[in-house]
Amino acid sequence: MALKYRHQPVKTLYMVGGVLWILARLPFWTVRNLVPAWRPHRTWSFGRSMIVGLMDAAIAIMLQTDVPFNEPLERLASDAKKNGFVWVDPLPDNLIVGDTKHAAEQNKVLPARVGGCWYEAKGSENQLGRKAAPGEKVFYFAHVLQQMGSAAPSYSGTALIAQGLLEHVKRVPRLFASEYRLARGPPLPVLNPYPTAMLDVLAGYYYLVHQLNFSPENIILVGDSAGGILAYQLVRYCIQYSASLPSGAFPVPGALLLLSPSADSALRPVPGSSMITNKRSDYLYSWYTSRYSVLSLLGNLPESELDRPWLSPGSTMFEDDDAGLKGIFESFPKTMIVAGEAEMARDCMRILRDRMRKEMGEEHVRYLEVEGAPHDFLGGTMWEPDRTVALKDIAVWANSL
């Protein structure tokens, strides 16, 4: 269980002990990683091998003491121009339907005012919330993690991905990154379980289409890690409930870009899968094995919900012709999936790729798997040159749309 040592003075003692444990392990890690054959991945340098081990150890300490929340939106709004921040109105109640409405009722989730941050290409003047120019394209971005993280420029992962996309994809001048209410789970009081984040991301999409007048075909939806499952859910919602919603409420976006998407929310350590074989080559081993993210999503829902297509389109717990999935991808827009070959969750992304190609056709699903890359490698400069290689490939795909 996570957060066993969250109270003082045990918290401080555990953190100090954790740092001392890391320092004590450094000589062993150094010797082990000096030999290429002993490194977590055959292609890795000594430096990358050390970084991944240190990151996983730091995450393990954090998980037992304090999972940081993002800064209040009011603080971002207090310096809106610097942060590129705008408020986004709550999703109207009549636009919440189907399975999503049922899950919201079970978890007592209501729509709320959220926000987001605008990023523009270098040299552009950030006029917050200006309406779309004729034919203007935009990235709509759902950030990493549903338990921490932010759309704000102060969160380096979001800022690096936003800047990388705008630098390499010249025909898209702006990116809107959605904030969403973050989840908390046991042993803390449950807060913002599924589908809270989904409702907030839907509200951001509604804002782009109906307030800023972006044509849906000009919106490239981008989901990073846990944001990837939110992006998938948004597109699925647009398709599955088009007949149940007011006409034109949620048109399908023009394209979908998934970056290390969390395609299986259950995160089971299936023997022989990448969840086992790649546990040394990914920095999220401690995060995955704690199951904190899993429990924070569920709220009042049974754990069996994790094995349904809404939360786990890349799960092995159901067949491709499952009634909850069959036919859904036929109407999906052109999609690109970017994965790291060294990720623990790599296999579920391959399953998602295969299911999408089966219904959409291989030509409509671009899949890039970068050898030796760990999870979410576009969000850190320490993962170069893999990061730039992927961004250039994304640019070729995006410019072909």
Residue 344 and residue 383 share a domain:
yes
Which tokens is 299 given? 């709220």
Residue-wise over 222-237: b if at least 16 C-beta within 10 A, else e?
bbbbbbbbbbbbbbbb
Note the residue count of the chain.
401
Decide if pLDDT at 238 tops 80. Answer: yes
Q: Peptide bond preceding 385: is omega within 30 degrees of 0, i.e. cis?
A: yes
pLDDT band at 23 (very low <50, low <70, confident <90, very high): very high
pLDDT in tens, 266-289: 888 889 999 999 999 999 999 999
Average pLDDT of the segment spanning 325-338: 96
pLDDT band at 124 (very low <50, low <70, confident <90, very high): confident
Residue 391 and residue 330 share a domain:
yes
Is 298 contained in some domain? no
Q: Where are the alpha helices (DSSP H) in 126-217?
A: 156-168, 196-206
Residue 37 and residue 84 share a domain:
no
pLDDT band at 67 (very low <50, low <70, confident <90, very high): confident
Using CA atoms, how far apart are residues 235 and 331, in angstroms rounded to an integer? 9
Q: What is the DSSP string of 69-108?
A: PPPPHHHHHHTHHHHTEEEEPPPPGGG--HHHHHHHHHTT
Contact (CB, 8 A) for 3 and 188:
yes
Using CA atoms, how far apart are residues 311 and 264, in angstroms rounded to an integer? 7
More confident residue, 68 or 163: 163
Angle 226-240/196-206 helices, nearest 10 degrees?
70
Is 104 contained in some domain? yes
Residue 325 and residue 225 share a domain:
yes
Strand residue runs (E) in 179-297: 219-224, 255-259
Using CA atoms, how far apart are residues 238 and 250, in angstroms rounded to an integer? 5
pLDDT-wise least confident of 46-55, 60-69, 382-391: 60-69
More confident residue, 325 or 357: 357
Contact (CB, 8 A) for 193 and 297:
yes
pLDDT in tens, 345-398: 999 999 999 999 999 999 999 999 999 999 999 999 999 999 999 999 999 999
Residue 316 and residue 200 share a domain:
yes
Residue 287 and residue 156 share a domain:
no
Contact (CB, 8 A) for 188 and 225:
no
Residue 311 and residue 287 share a domain:
no
Residue 27 and residue 108 share a domain:
no
Q: Give Dmax over CA atoms of the chain in angstroms.
A: 63
Decide if pLDDT at 145 tops 80. Answer: no
Q: How many CB atoms lie within 10 A of CB 110?
A: 13
Give the CATH number of the domain where residue 194 resides.
3.40.50.1820
Average pLDDT of the segment spanning 247-258: 97
Is 5 contained in some domain? no
Handedness of CA 186, 191, 192, 195 (dihedral sign): positive
Average pLDDT of the segment spanning 183-210: 95
Is 155 contained in some domain? yes
**Could you tell me what percent of the chain has a pLDDT over 70?**
99
What is residue 99's predicted lDDT score, i.e. its pLDDT?
Answer: 96
Decide if pLDDT at 126 tops 70. Answer: no
What is residue 321's predicted lDDT score, i.e. its pLDDT?
Answer: 84
Using CA atoms, how far apart are residues 340 and 225, in angstroms rounded to an integer? 11
Is 4 contained in some domain? no
pLDDT in tens, 289-302: 998 888 899 999 99
Residue 78 and residue 61 share a domain:
no
Residue span of the structural domain in which 105 resides: 73-267+303-399
Q: Characterize the bridge pairing of strands 219-224 and 334-340.
A: unpaired
What is residue 125's predicted lDDT score, i.e. its pLDDT?
Answer: 67
Coil, helix or strand for 367? strand
Is 326 contained in some domain? yes
Coil, helix or strand for 43? coil
Using CA atoms, how far apart are residues 118 and 130, in angstroms rounded to an integer? 10
Q: What is the DSSP string of 343-376?
A: -TTHHHHHHHHHHHHHHH-GGGEEEEEETT--TT
Mean of per-residue pLDDT scores for the chain? 94
pLDDT band at 12 (very low <50, low <70, confident <90, very high): very high
Is 379 contained in some domain? yes
Residue 122 and residue 153 share a domain:
yes
Strand residue runs (E) in 130-199: 138-142, 174-178
pLDDT band at 43 (very low <50, low <70, confident <90, very high): very high
pTM score, two decimals?
Answer: 0.96
Angle 10-34/46-65 helices, nearest 10 degrees?
160
Read off the amino acid at residue 15: M
Is 3 contained in some domain? no
Closest by alpha carbon to 106, among 295, 311, 298, 300? 300
Number of domains in the chain: 2
Decide if pLDDT at 322 tops 90. Answer: no
Residue 165 and residue 222 share a domain:
yes
Residue 275 and residue 188 share a domain:
no
pLDDT band at 129 (very low <50, low <70, confident <90, very high): confident
